[in-house]
Amino acid sequence: MIERKQVIPGDVITRGDFQWGSYIEKRGDEFIALRVGLAEVGREGVKLNPLSGPYLPHPEDQVIGKVVDINGFGWVVDINSSFDGFLPASFVFGREFSPSTHDLTTKFGVGDIIGARIESSERSRDPQLSIRGHGFGKIDRGEIVKISPTKVPRLIGRRGSMINLISERTGCDVKVGQNGVVVVSGPPEAVGRAVNVIKMVEEAAHSADLMGRVDQYLGGVEDGA
Amino acid sequence: MSMKKNYVVETIRKTQMLELLASGQRLDGRTPEQHRPITLKVGVIQKANGSASVTLGNSEVLAGVKVATGTPFPDTPDKGLLVVNAEILPLSSPYAEPGPPSEDAIELARVVDRGIRESEMVDLTKLCLIPGKTVYTVFVDVNVMNVDGNLFDAMSYAVVAALRSAKMKKFIVKDDKVEATDEMVPIPVEKIPVSVTLARIGESLVVDPNAEEEGAMDMRITITTDDEGNVCASQKGEAAGITPEHVLQAADTSIMVGKEIRKTIIEATK
């Protein structure tokens, strides 16, 4: 059992020699919390899950964004963060891209929802996106749900257990972006159930045996139907 | 970092919206002729002559009335002054910025002002003290506190309610001089204009569009009607056109919905 404790900024989470994640600073041999949240020390090192906060882009994150603008060189994508993502046209059309011969609107228009990966995220520039790889690109059906980005790990669950449970039980396809944007697609009634359970997970994210509650919720509905 | 100018509605959301509208439904569960719940409170600012705070769904505005005396415009020497102004606060929306009033804020104030003025809600001739020299000046300043679409109607209700509930100091003319008295009198309000805004999304007209619907609309029309059901003012916005059938339909809907809202305003300003 991993020990979890509540921390506030400045608290010493633990001492020693560990790997450490975001929202933690190492001073000497002390690991200091930078946010309000739940800290845990396990085999993977010291981790801090903040209770709230905006989405901060990290390279390799898989996000779901909305195209809000198109310029000659690519798409500006709202990734539910304080930064707008930028998807360069050359990442989509390839090396031979030229603004005079390629029409960007044929790929994505303003308002389109796309799944993308954060390619790079530096402080001096807007985060760059890429759609290379399986499962990325335009999402053209589904219901959009926004949850707090800090609750995304709970929604996915250990090795995707929670999200698999939800999509198996409801028969919906559920795409989760690490930026807190979720797209659910499937038959209308099933989508409604999936959306409700996703909102329940967000609300009850701290409770123990969340998996059991979700299982019961989805099982219960099935029995009643 | 690029500046966000407007709320962009997701394409898949707009598709859902159009599908629902085809069967006469809206995403938030309203019917096309249904407006969002209105709450109206008057007398919310103690130091103003009159004030009102209005919420229309999640849109929220605050209006204040200040009455003083001043010189009339040269072309209307025997009429008082009525000026309606709007400011969209930066905290009201992620897309509002500080600085000089935006195009939207100017249009908002102009459309509301026109509705009040053309309905002859306030009898400006009764606000004259010495023709050509001194008249009452009525300033209505509105702050938009939260934006969730259809600010035109929210602001119009706030201004009407604030004017109806306002009390101003009575001035008298003595030996060609204007003197203030301690008596407080109401502003000479004659009518209750009600503005109703409709948006055309695809082929459907919907009353009181929210921010999402405004993001997806092709055209909007604001129509102000008075107590007798006369159309006093209107304004069409956005790029797409409007058919004569839609104009008539919009006018009929405004009169019908307006009647209902007028009752709410009377109830709140009793």
Q: Where are the domains of chain B?
A: 25-268
CA of B37 to nearest chain A CA: how many angstroms apart?
Answer: 24
CA distances from A79 to A66, A76, A85, B27, B197 (A): 7, 9, 6, 23, 32
CB < 8 Å & 24+ apart, contacts of B242-248: B242/B200, B246/B200, B246/B205, B246/B221, B247/B221
- A74 contacts chain B (CB < 8 A): no
The whole-number pLDDT of residue B19 equals 93
φ/ψ bin of B19: left (φ > 0), alpha (ψ from -120 to 50), beta (otherwise): alpha
Q: What are the phi and psi torsion angles at B17 (to 5°)?
A: -60, -45
Per-residue pLDDT, A49: 84
The stretch B216-222 carries a mean pLDDT of 95
Q: What is the pLDDT of residues A50-109, one digit of tens each?
A: 888 899 899 999 999 999 999 889 999 999 998 999 999 999 888 888 888 889 989 999
- Which residues of chain A neighbour B4 with C-beta distances below 8 Å? 68, 78, 84
Class of domain A143-224: alpha beta
Check if A50 contacts B (Cβ < 8 Å): no
B2 CB neighbours in chain A (<8 A) are 69, 76, 84, 126
What's the CATH architecture for A3-50?
Beta Barrel (2.40)
Q: CB distance from A69 to chain B under 8 Å? A: yes
Give the pLDDT band of residue B1 (cuts 50, 70, 90).
Answer: very low
Chain A segment 102-131 residues within 8 A of B by beta carbon are 109-113, 126
Q: What is the ipTM of this complex?
A: 0.77
Mean pLDDT, to the nearest integer, of B187-208?
A: 96
The tokens for B45 are 């600012």
Asked if B253 and B205 touch (Cβ cutoff 8 Å), the reply is: yes
Mind telling me how many Å the CA of B1 is from chain A's nearest CA?
Answer: 6
Return the residue of B nearest to A82 by Cα: B1
- List chain A domain ranges: 3-50, 62-139, 143-224
Q: Kindly report, residue by residue over B102-144, the tens digit of the pLDDT.
A: 899 999 999 999 999 999 999 999 999 999 999 999 999 999 9
Site from B6, B7, B9, B10 to mutate, A interface, most A CB atoms within 10 angstroms: B10
Question: Testing the interface with A: which of B1, B9, B11 to mutate, by most A Cβ within 10 A?
Answer: B11
pLDDT of B5 reads: 64
pLDDT of A221 higher than 80 = no
**pLDDT of amino acid A163:** 92
Mutation target vs B (from A87, A144, A175, A191; most B CBs, 10 A cutoff): A144
| pLDDT tens sequence across B37-61 | 999 999 999 999 999 999 999 999 9
Mean pLDDT rounded to a whole number for chain A: 89
Residue B203: is its pLDDT beyond 70? yes
pLDDT of residue B221: 97
Out of B2, B13, B14, closest to residue A76 by CB: B2
Query: HSE-up of B121 (CA within 13 Å, CB side)?
Result: 28
DSSP secondary structure, B157-200, as one string: HHHHHHHHH-EEEEEEEETTEEEEEEEEEE--B----EEEEEEE
B10 pLDDT above the threshold of 70: yes
> Are domains A3-50 and A62-139 of this chain identical in fold?
yes
**Res B4: pLDDT:** 52
Looking at the domain A62-139, which fold is it? OB fold (Dihydrolipoamide Acetyltransferase, E2P) (2.40.50)
Distance from CA of B6 to the nearest CA of A (A): 9
CA distance B7 to chain A (A): 8
Produce one character per residue of B66-98: b if its CB has 16 or more CB atoms within 10 Å, e if not.
Answer: bbebeebeeeeeebbbbebbbbbbeebbebbee
What angle do helix axes B244-268 and B151-165 make, rounded to 10 degrees?
Answer: 40
Query: Could you name the CATH architecture of B25-268?
Result: 2-Layer Sandwich (3.30)
pLDDT value of residue B2:
40
Q: What is the pLDDT of residue B121?
A: 96
